Amino acid sequence: MPITDAMPELKRELRFFPVENDIPSTLTSEQIQQFNEDGYICPLDVFSEDEISKHREYFNQLMDKVLEEGGNSYSINGWHTRSAGIHDLVTDGRISDYVQDLLGKDLICWGTHYFCKLPGEEKQVSWHQDASYWPLSPSKTVTVWLAIDDASVENGAMTVIPKSHLHGQIAFERSTAEEKNVLGQTVIDAEQYGDSPVPFEMKAGQLSLHSDLLLHGSEPNTSDRRRCGLTMRFVPPEVKAANNWNQRAIITRGDDPSGHWVHNPRPTEDSIN
């Protein structure tokens, strides 16, 4: 049966809030218009080849530790408060400059997740909306997807359905085991909710921005190349979190006058336990 709200008890406000910014500092007015109309901006340049290669090596070291302890290539989730390297990424001023033009001068990063598709991997990410999963309201999260490796159609690039963010919450079903979905929700016949799907093919070091209501997913990695990306989730401080999701936040720019979001300082050393 289709599900229209995963958390009805929270009475979340799930609708798209258009960006109102007549004088952006980093993005162009055309890019902000695209975000409002299509729900995303892609690609944007941020890190040089040398810089992203260092981040890639850092991820490789984290992944080696995770695999040694029995984890998998999707296990590095929410480590921004205990991993200095991830903390440095979410607080990088070049990323904040982009996000600020969409959300305002005060920015909270509440979540991160490496999505790493190994060569020949059969897992996919079914069509879904991020906001459906999260106990946050209102739905104003902007996700930064940073390409750690080159992303192409062949190795399972994230693909979005433009304009689908304008529908608010879209009904979904629980994913079946046969889907081999990394997550747990599936929107059926997703392409009816927007324009033709657009793959985010990016070079390592580039990033994309998308609304938490934009339908997106990705196919299995049929290539012999890995595809890793780091998602970083940002909100303005007026967004509130239930279920203690406010505890693992980083104030990356400005402040939170309400004190709702708990600011975690940069860790002095990495901890994966």
Q: What average pLDDT does the structure give for the chain?
A: 96
Query: Is-cis flag, bond preceding 8, omega within 30?
Result: no
- Does the pLDDT of residue 1 top 90, yes or no? no
User: With contact defined as beta carbons under 8 Å apart, do 214 and 164 qualify?
Assistant: yes
pLDDT given at position 269: 77
Angstrom distance (rounded) from CA 83 to CA 271: 6
- Does the pLDDT of residue 273 top 60, yes or no? no
- Does the pLDDT of residue 223 top 90, yes or no? yes
Q: 87: Cβ–Cβ under 8 A, 6 or more apart, which residues?
A: 80, 81, 250, 266, 267
**Token pair for 77:** 């989730």
Residue-wise pLDDT tens digits, 126-180: 999 999 999 999 999 999 999 999 999 999 999 999 999 999 999 999 999 999 9
- Does the pLDDT of residue 221 top 70, yes or no? yes
Angstrom distance (rounded) from CA 166 to CA 163: 6
Q: 93: Cβ–Cβ under 8 A, 6 or more apart, which residues?
A: none
Residue-wise pLDDT tens digits, 168-219: 999 999 999 999 998 999 999 999 999 999 999 999 999 999 999 999 999 9
pTM value?
Answer: 0.96
Residue-wise pLDDT tens digits, 231-270: 999 999 999 999 999 999 999 999 999 999 999 999 987 7
116 membership: H or E segment, kind and range:
strand 107-117
pLDDT given at position 272: 60
